[in-house]
Chains A and B, each alone.
Chain A
Amino acid sequence: MIWLFLPVLIALSALAFFGGREIASRRAGASAIKAHSRPSQHGYYALIWVGVPALVVLLAAAIFSGPIEQSVMQAGAPDSIAQLEPFRRDAFFNDARLVSAGQQPHQIWPQALAEQLTQEARRYGDLSRLLSLGCIVGALVAATLGGLFVYTRISPTLRARNRVEGWIGGVLFTCSVVAVLTTLGIVFSLLWDSLRFFQSVPIAEFLFGTQWSPQIAIRADQVGSTGAFGAVPLFAGTFLIMLIAMLVAAPIGLFSAIYLSEYASRTSRAVFKPILEILAGVPTVVYGFFAALTVGPAFREAFNGLGALMVGGPLDGLGQYLMLVQNQMALVAGAVMGIMLIPFVSSLSDDIINAVPQSLRDGSYAMGATKSETVKRVLLPAALPGIAGALLLAMSRAIGETMIVTMAAGLAANLTLNPLDTVTTVTVQIVTLLTGDQEFDSPKTLAAFGLGLTLFLVTLLLNIVAQRIVQKYREQYD
């Protein structure tokens, strides 16, 4: 409702701008002193002083008018309504608001209450009109006061240019503070809930226990004694899948980067580079169902077929095992995640190899080295720290990746390093712990925060180390 006032506010601000500019140029013309700032800078100064206070009033009204309405309505409600149970009372006021806005109530109320409803709706309408009016008047007063203030201030000696600069700096600062504060808030809530989790499950058990079955621990008194919160199988599963992903992504990504930066002609580079960038933009959920619906069954059939060939032969045991391999295995999730990471590794490494100065290549070629000798003996050693940093970043992404493993790795918390087994990861467990109907402070739910915190710390560490390395490397060639 009050937002309808916004166009008026914009018009007022524009008026302030033009007025301020006009007044400034007049006063400067009348004065003997040379004006410090140009008239339009005074205009912006006036705009800020008229627009910002009014906007603050509007924002405050938008935030607080709801609660104020609520409490005034409840305070003035007749006894018959005040005696209702809380949830029915809320429903009643909700309907009153609908009726006052000219809509149908959600419920059919009994005769007595229905009469009250029309009455309350009228009261509601009056109240909200009053509030809106107050808010608009408040905004107008704020704008006027600001305008008067500016009117007295504008003079050739006013440093409007610097003041406007200060306001702009302030707005930019506020935005960055918001970004930092929300991140800090998330970290602290993570810390806080993890602490609550570690009150019911000892840290040592969480970090070193080898049994993970949070579903058992439904009753609080079972927690700890059952040993259901040992996260080692999850760490092992995460590590295994990360390892497989890196085995796929590191060589392919690195070699394709070498091809792109050293071997490719300008035309093939112009084709490959954008394709890799498109691949980098494929949503992970697409990789996820690719893994679950295409790669998984294909691998299973391949292994089952191989197993069938072996059964009865000297490798009978292995054959029996291979025939039982399922769709969901670490190998599939890891391989598909590796494919997802190829563009990431390749474009980072490409940047890093390109940052090696051309003079080193020239030096090596001028010594009569071939391309591969130059790559192996000069470029890779020179780029190694940067490439190591890129691989660490890729690892951190592999560890934090959720969608692919949720769809392709499975849920069974097996403590194994066998890539054909079903494993589960930290991220998958967080998803399963928090989806569905959950009691918010059961240890089972809180366990997700413990896992989240661990994940956060590990990836944070990896990222910091990687950034450091890459940055050091960049400085080296600046």
Chain B
Amino acid sequence: MKLPFFHNPAKASDGREGGASDNPGLPLMGGQIVPGVTDTTRPDETRDESFLTPEPEADARGAPAAQRVPAVTAASGTAGPTKIMARDVSVFYGEKQALYDVSLDIPDKTVTALIGPSGCGKSTFLRTMNRMNDTIQGCRVTGRIEMDGNDINTKAIDPVLLRAQVGMVFQKPNPFPKTIYENVAYGPKIHGLTTNKTELDGVVEASLKRAGLWEEVADRLHSAGTGLSGGQQQRLVIARAIAVNPEVILMDEPCSALDPIATAKIEELIDELRERYCIVIVTHSMAQAARVSQRTAFFHMGRLVETGNTEEIFTNPRERRTLDYITGRFG
């Protein structure tokens, strides 16, 4: 199943609503980040917490607050048309509503960051996009989610096939207790994407290369995937997701279990993957959102408060709550 490519320029009126055509140019590459800037900001991730500590004197939307906002260093601007369109999405866990009428456009070939205090429904929203909520008992999704213009919640869509198209990376690296090779070959095997061993070898190698892991594991493809370091495991899991050739990659706090160096590697990787995939990343680190994402959506108490280009959200948010959150006043 391949959903037809969807392109709807009419929707893209306002960049802040997730427009598709506000940046019609070529995808911006990772190389466009000024190297010096990247280098000086990377060490920041060790100081995320202190960075977010509120300073008592400044409480208005003035210059002092702006100083506390992480500097946006990610390449700016969306690169592709709308890939996923959510309209009035609500999610219920049993009686309890976790998400209220979320409408959001997610552009292709762009990193979209979902931020917000914990429990605000970021993961829940992420799971609506590959219908992983189906696997949770008592979970009910209402509203409309379109991928390339096709509703993904209709009977005609097989969630199993949808998930092959929408890869997902979790908070805790979860390689299967198999070899590195078998981990990456898992998807191609269950979906029958390759016909022989040579092809499979090729897919495994290409995926590992794209995930930036090939150099480190080429000589031990047949040792246990669980034996790798946390950062390597997370890249292995990304390679596993890439191997089925998805169009979208969802990442749920992919770096929160990793050390700063491994985090930097994953962030670099995300920036590279942006060329090919539509990436949605949940992060609790404001600094990370500023480093890797072009678009940011701020969630609070199950509602989407504000969305727009990362630069704008971080320098000139429209909502008071957004400012309070990104300056670390709550969360």
A and B: interacting chains: yes
User: Is A362 a contact partner of B164 (Cβ separation < 8 A)?
Assistant: no
A377 and B191 CA atoms in complex are apart in Å by 13
B178 at the interface (CB under 8 A from A): yes
The proximity string for A residues 349-389 relative to B, scoring 1 for CB distances below 8 Å and 0 otherwise, is 00000000101111111111110010001100110000000
A368 and B192 CA atoms in complex are apart in Å by 12
A266 at the interface (CB under 8 A from B): yes
User: Is B130 a contact partner of A377 (Cβ separation < 8 A)?
Assistant: no
User: Is A382 a contact partner of B163 (Cβ separation < 8 A)?
Assistant: no
Contact partners of B177 in chain A: CB under 8 A: 360, 378, 381-382
- Selected from A359, A360, A370, A382, the residue in CB contact (under 8 A) with B160 is A370
Contact partners of B244 in chain A: CB under 8 A: 367-368
Interface-side segment among B43-51, B62-70, B144-152, B168-176: B168-176
B26 at the interface (CB under 8 A from A): no
Sample (30) of A-B pairs whose CB atoms are under 8 Å apart? A266-B138, A359-B170, A359-B174, A360-B174, A360-B177, A361-B135, A362-B174, A363-B170, A363-B175, A364-B176, A366-B130, A366-B163, A367-B163, A367-B186, A367-B187, A367-B240, A368-B160, A368-B164, A368-B187, A368-B190, A368-B191, A369-B190, A373-B190, A377-B176, A377-B186, A377-B190, A378-B176, A381-B176, A382-B176, A382-B177
A266 and B186 CA atoms in complex are apart in Å by 29
- Give the interface centre of A357, A365, A377, A381 by most chain B CB atoms within 10 Å: A365
* Nearest residue, chain B, Cβ from A383: B177
Mark out the residues of chain A between 277 and 332 whose CB falls within 8 Å of any chain B CB in the assembled complex. none
* Nearest residue, chain A, Cβ from B189: A377
User: Is A363 a contact partner of B190 (Cβ separation < 8 A)?
Assistant: no
B161 at the interface (CB under 8 A from A): yes
A71 at the interface (CB under 8 A from B): no
Contact partners of A368 in chain B: CB under 8 A: 160-165, 187, 190-191, 244
A80 at the interface (CB under 8 A from B): no
Contact partners of B172 in chain A: CB under 8 A: 359
B162 → A minimal CB distance (Å): 8
B137 at the interface (CB under 8 A from A): yes
Contact partners of A357 in chain B: CB under 8 A: 174
Interchain residue pairs A-B with the least CB separation, the first 3: A368-B164, A366-B168, A368-B163
Contact partners of A367 in chain B: CB under 8 A: 163-164, 167, 186-187, 190, 240-241, 244
Contact partners of A362 in chain B: CB under 8 A: 132, 135, 168, 170, 174
Contact partners of A363 in chain B: CB under 8 A: 170, 174-176, 237, 240
- Selected from B135, B161, B237, B241, the residue in CB contact (under 8 A) with A365 is B135
A265 at the interface (CB under 8 A from B): yes
Contact partners of A364 in chain B: CB under 8 A: 176, 186
Contact partners of B135 in chain A: CB under 8 A: 361-362, 365
Instruction: Place the interface of chain A in its size category.
Output: 20 to 34
A381 and B179 CA atoms in complex are apart in Å by 12
A368 and B162 CA atoms in complex are apart in Å by 7
- Selected from B137, B160, B163, B190, the residue in CB contact (under 8 A) with A266 is B137
Mark out the residues of chain B between 178 and 223 whose CB falls within 8 Å of any chain A CB in the assembled complex. 178, 186-187, 190-191
Interface residues of B (CB under 8 A from A): 130, 132, 135, 137-138, 160-165, 167-168, 170, 172, 174-178, 186-187, 190-191, 237, 240-241, 244
* Nearest residue, chain B, Cβ from A356: B177
* Nearest residue, chain A, Cβ from B137: A266
Interface residues of A (CB under 8 A from B): 265-266, 357, 359-370, 373, 377-378, 381-382
User: Is B160 a contact partner of A369 (Cβ separation < 8 A)?
Assistant: yes
A197 → B minimal CB distance (Å): 48
A24 and B216 CA atoms in complex are apart in Å by 71
Contact partners of A360 in chain B: CB under 8 A: 174, 176-177
The verdict on A365 contacting B176 (CB below 8 Å), with A265-B137, A359-B170, A373-B190 known, is: no
A361 and B168 CA atoms in complex are apart in Å by 12
Chain A interface main SS type: helix
With contacts defined as CB atoms under 8 Å apart, how many contacts are there between chain A and chain B in the complex? 68
B279 → A minimal CB distance (Å): 15
Contact partners of A381 in chain B: CB under 8 A: 176-178
A364 and B167 CA atoms in complex are apart in Å by 11
A265 and B136 CA atoms in complex are apart in Å by 11
Contact partners of A373 in chain B: CB under 8 A: 190
A364 and B170 CA atoms in complex are apart in Å by 11
B147 → A minimal CB distance (Å): 14
User: Is A366 a contact partner of B176 (Cβ separation < 8 A)?
Assistant: no
B154 → A minimal CB distance (Å): 18
- Give the interface centre of B175, B190, B237, B244 by most chain A CB atoms within 10 Å: B190
User: Is A365 a contact partner of B240 (Cβ separation < 8 A)?
Assistant: no
* Nearest residue, chain B, Cβ from A370: B160
B10 → A minimal CB distance (Å): 32
* Nearest residue, chain A, Cβ from B173: A359
A32 → B minimal CB distance (Å): 49
Contact partners of B164 in chain A: CB under 8 A: 367-368
* Nearest residue, chain A, Cβ from B226: A476
Q: Known pairs A362-B174, A364-B176. 6 more at Cβ < 8 A?
A: A361-B135, A363-B170, A368-B191, A377-B190, A378-B176, A381-B176
A381 and B168 CA atoms in complex are apart in Å by 22
A474 → B minimal CB distance (Å): 14
- Selected from B161, B167, B178, B190, the residue in CB contact (under 8 A) with A366 is B167
Contact partners of A359 in chain B: CB under 8 A: 170, 172, 174
Contact partners of A369 in chain B: CB under 8 A: 160, 186, 190
- Give the interface centre of A265, A363, A370, A378 by most chain B CB atoms within 10 Å: A363
* Nearest residue, chain A, Cβ from B165: A368
A272 → B minimal CB distance (Å): 16
A358 → B minimal CB distance (Å): 9
Contact partners of A266 in chain B: CB under 8 A: 137-138
A186 and B178 CA atoms in complex are apart in Å by 45
* Nearest residue, chain A, Cβ from B175: A363
Contact partners of A377 in chain B: CB under 8 A: 176, 186, 190
Contact partners of B138 in chain A: CB under 8 A: 266
B3 → A minimal CB distance (Å): 14
A272 and B10 CA atoms in complex are apart in Å by 55
* Nearest residue, chain B, Cβ from A378: B176
* Nearest residue, chain B, Cβ from A361: B135
* Nearest residue, chain A, Cβ from B134: A365
A378 and B176 CA atoms in complex are apart in Å by 7
Contact partners of A265 in chain B: CB under 8 A: 137
B181 → A minimal CB distance (Å): 14
A154 and B177 CA atoms in complex are apart in Å by 62
B135 → A minimal CB distance (Å): 5
A266 → B minimal CB distance (Å): 6
Contact partners of B237 in chain A: CB under 8 A: 363
Contact partners of B162 in chain A: CB under 8 A: 368
User: Is A365 a contact partner of B132 (Cβ separation < 8 A)?
Assistant: yes
* Nearest residue, chain A, Cβ from B161: A368
A373 and B190 CA atoms in complex are apart in Å by 8
